[in-house]
Every structure is written in C-alpha cells, then in structure tokens.
C-alpha cells in the first residue's frame, strides 16, 4: 500500500514516515526543495520503499497536481501534515491563513482530478487550535471535546500571530470537511482529522535540532537555555508526545471506526512551570542554572487559567496509552542536551 505524506520533512511527519516504513508501507513524501528531500532520503538510509517529490509552496494554486498526475494511480492513502507553524510574521493572511487553506484545498482537488478512484483514506493533521481559540483557552469553566470549534472568524483571528495560526488550523480543517460534503460521488475517500495539543518529545533525528528547532519544541529548548532568575511566560494547554501523534496517524488509517472522526490528542494539560520543575528535579546539570519560577504551582495555575479537555471518545477509538508528561519531557530534554541546539 502506498501512502503520500505532505510536509514529510517536518517534526511530526518524520516520525510518521518512520512508522509507516516500519509497518511495511511504501511512502511518497513531499518536501520543499531537492536539498531537503535528499537529506531526508539519506537519513532513512535510502530505503527503497521511500521516495520524495518537491512541493515548494502549498500556497501556490494546484500545488499538488504534478505529484498526483505522476503517482495518483498508486496512492491509496494521503496524510496531509504540511502547514505553516510559526509566529514570525505580521502578514497573517499571506503567511499563515492562505497557505493552510489553499494547501488543504489543492491536495484534495488533486486527488479529485487524478486519484478519485484510488485514494481511499485521507488524514489531515489539524490541531486543538481548530477546537478552541486563544481567548477561550483561558476560560477555566469550558470543557472542549471532539465536537468543539474555534469561534474566531477570518478577521478576528488576525488579532495576533498566535490567534492567526489557530485560525489557520480551523479554516484548513473546515475546508477539508466542506470539500468532502460537496464532493460526495466525486471522490471515494473517507476523512479523519488528527487534532493534537502542543506536541513535545524527541526529534526523529537529533541533528535536526542543530539546524532549527520547530515551534512547539522551542518551548522546551527555551526553558533549557534559560538562566537562573529568568522570568518565563507560562505557556499552557493540552500536550501530547510526538510518538503518539505519529502512532495515531497510523491507527487512523488502519481502524475503519476512525473514518469521519476528529481525533483529539491530549494526555492532559501542561504549563511551562511543570516543564521547569521536571528539568530542575531530573537533570542535576541544569539545577541551579536555569529558571525556577514558583515550583509546584503548575496544577493550581492550570486549574484557574486553562479550559479543560475531554477526549475520552478519542482515547477509546485509538485504544492505546499515551506517553505521560514526565517521560515525554525527560526524553525531549535528554536529546536536546546531547546536541548543540540552534536556539
């Protein structure tokens, strides 16, 4: 069975590619340049079941047409992970919203044009950001479930980069569900979305950290590189280990019950204070050198400052246990301390 993975060079996608290859699938990935693609192929020891195509910019019209013209007859499963995830912009439409939405639209249109008969399953990597907007994230009385939607509009989400990123995930996911509704009869695939919270955990290849640190991992590396006495922003929200995010993508394509579902990945709430506590307690080389904050104040902070998540439906569907917070943070930090992080 052949699986297409968009944005294969990303933090989450590299784990997915690895798990797919281990499970015996043939994988076609997309990356933005020949150089990035070659380096990925090399990391997977030029596995004969892995090949790469260039999709330079998912924002461009018909970005995925060439790939599906060439491989459409072979691809049975599509995992769409590519989407901009950074806050380094003030042009939110150009850099976040449009690429997220157009990328989703163009991959689905390419399937319709060139692989309507072959593609059976599509999984879109969405986010808990599609479930709840940053304002409601802070509402301690709110419970978010698989049915929830971020309530920002195209305009209101452009208040700042974080809200715009969250909006980009909402509108991209909506695009996918709407496409399916409007194209019953034109395509035969089922759709699932994976909606992870903040994703931490080790990189598939540690040396990725020497080139750049992806946005979510940057929360951990920032705290590891803090100085004693530093004040830090207490990021908070649902978290999940990247190894579980990858595994959930495989379960989504293998378990028929996942068709039509939004799978919300969270193993509980975290905050930066909780990360700092683990770093100070578990890593003697950091203790006394990094920020301390207010040790053990995390749980009461979260009680007052974060909405709650009930993803019991997803947990039942997936049927496997997620990494806990402590193991996830320890494994992330061990790897970061081994390499020279580009922070």
Contacts of 170 (CB under 8 A, 6+ apart): 129, 130, 133, 149, 150, 152, 157
Contact with ligand NDP (CB under 6 A) among 4, 11, 171, 301:
11
Q: What is the CA radius of gyration of the chain?
A: 20
Q: Which of 199, 223, 250, 341 binds ligand NDP (CB under 6 A)?
A: 199
φ, ψ dihedrals at 249, nearest 5°: -65, -40
Residue choice 98, 139, 183, 214 for contact with ligand NDP (CB under 6 A) = 214
User: Least Å distance between CB 5 and ligand NDP?
Assistant: 10
Q: Which is nearer to ligand NDP, 43 or 169 (CB)?
A: 169
**Closer CB to ligand NDP, 116 or 136, in the complex:** 136
Should residue 196 be labelled a site residue for ligand NDP when binding is judged by CB under 6 A? yes
Residue nearest to ligand NDP (CB): 10
Residue 69's Cα: distance from chain center in Å?
A: 27
Instruction: Note the residue count of the chain.
Output: 343
| Separation of alpha carbons 328 and 220, rounded Å | 11
| Beta-strand relationship, 190-196 and 262-265 | parallel
Q: Compute how many other C-beta atoms are within 10 angstroms of the C-beta atom of residue 106.
A: 21
In this complex, which beta carbon is closest to ligand NDP, that of residue 81 or of residue 335? 81
Q: Quick one: 111 or 209, whose CB is closer to ligand NDP?
A: 209
Is position 202 an interface residue for ligand NDP (rule: CB under 6 A)? no
Q: Tell me if 198 contacts ligand NDP by CB under 6 A.
A: yes
- DSSP 8-state symbol, 130: G
Q: Does 7 bind ligand NDP (CB under 6 A)?
A: yes
User: Does 322 interact with ligand NDP (rule: CB under 6 A)?
Assistant: no
**Calpha distance 288→285 (Å, rounded):** 8
For residues 258 and 111, what is the distance between their CA atoms, to the nearest angstrom?
20
Residue 174: which of 143, 204, 149 has the closest Cα? 149
Task: Select from 3, 5, 12, 77 the one that contacts ligand NDP (CB under 6 A).
Answer: 12
Task: Choose between 72 and 99: whose C-beta lies nearer to ligand NDP.
Answer: 99
| Site track 145-164 with ligand NDP (rule: CB under 6 A), x = hit | --------------------
Of these, 32, 69, 174, 255, which contacts ligand NDP (CB under 6 A)?
32
Q: How far is the CB of 197 from ligand NDP (least distance, A)?
A: 6
Q: H helices within the chain, ranges in order?
A: 11-22, 34-43, 65-71, 92, 98-114, 134-137, 161-182, 208-211, 215-224, 242-254, 272-282, 298-305, 312-318, 325-338
Q: Restricting to residues 81-110, name those near ligand NDP by CB under 6 A.
A: 81-85, 99
Decide: is 169 part of the binding site for ligand NDP (CB under 6 A).
yes
b/e sequence 208-246, b meaning 16+ C-beta within 10 Å: bbeeebbbbbebbbbbbebeeeeebebbbbbbbbbbbbb
Residue 118 or 261 having the CB closest to ligand NDP: 261
Q: Which stretch binds ligand NDP (CB under 6 A): 8-16, 67-75, 143-151, 293-301?
A: 8-16
Q: How far is CA 238 from the centre of its chain?
A: 13
- Is residue 270 involved in binding ligand NDP (CB under 6 A)? no
127 binds ligand NDP (CB under 6 A): yes
- Which residues in this chain contact ligand NDP in the complex, by CB under 6 A? 7, 9-13, 32, 36, 55, 57-59, 81-85, 99, 125, 127, 169, 196, 198-199, 214, 216
């Amino acid at each position: 069975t052949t699986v297409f993975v968009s944005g294969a060079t990303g933090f989450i996608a590299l784990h997915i590619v690895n798990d797919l290859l281990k499970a015996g699938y043939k994988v076609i990935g997309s990356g933005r340049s020949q150089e990035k693609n070659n380096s990925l192929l090399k990391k997977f020891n030029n596995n004969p079941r892995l090949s790469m195509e260039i999709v330079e910019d998912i924002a461009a019209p018909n970005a995925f047409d060439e790939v599906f013209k060439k491989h459409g007859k072979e691809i049975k499963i599509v995992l769409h992970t590519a989407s901009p995830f950074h806050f380094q912009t003030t042009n939110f439409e150009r850099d976040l919203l449009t690429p997220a939405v157009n990328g989703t639209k163009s991959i689905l249109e390419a399937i319709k044009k060139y692989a309507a008969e072959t593609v059976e399953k599509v999984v879109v990597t969405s986010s808990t950001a599609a479930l709840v907007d940053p304002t409601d994230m802070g509402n301690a009385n709110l419970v978010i479930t698989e049915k929830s939607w971020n309530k920002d509009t195209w305009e209101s989400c452009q208040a700042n980069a974080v809200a715009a990123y969250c909006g980009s995930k909402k509108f991209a996911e909506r695009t996918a569900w709407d496409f399916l509704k409007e194209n019953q009869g034109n395509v035969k695939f089922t759709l699932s979305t994976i909606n992870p919270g903040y994703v931490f955990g080790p990189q598939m290849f540690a040396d990725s950290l020497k080139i750049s640190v992806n946005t979510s991992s940057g929360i951990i590396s920032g705290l590891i590189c803090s100085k004693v006495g530093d004040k830090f922003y207490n990021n908070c929200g649902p978290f999940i280990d990247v190894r579980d995010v990858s595994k959930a993508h495989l379960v989504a394509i293998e378990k028929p019950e996942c068709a039509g579902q939004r799978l919300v990945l969270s193993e509980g709430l975290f905050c930066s204070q909780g990360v700092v506590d683990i770093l100070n307690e578990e890593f003697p080389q950091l203790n006394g050198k990094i920020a301390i904050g207010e040790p053990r104040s995390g749980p009461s902070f979260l009680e007052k400052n974060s909405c709650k998540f009930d993803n019991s439906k997803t947990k039942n569907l997936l049927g496997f246990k997620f990494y806990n917070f402590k193991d996830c943070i320890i494994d992330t930090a061990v790897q970061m301390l081994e390499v020279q992080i580009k922070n």
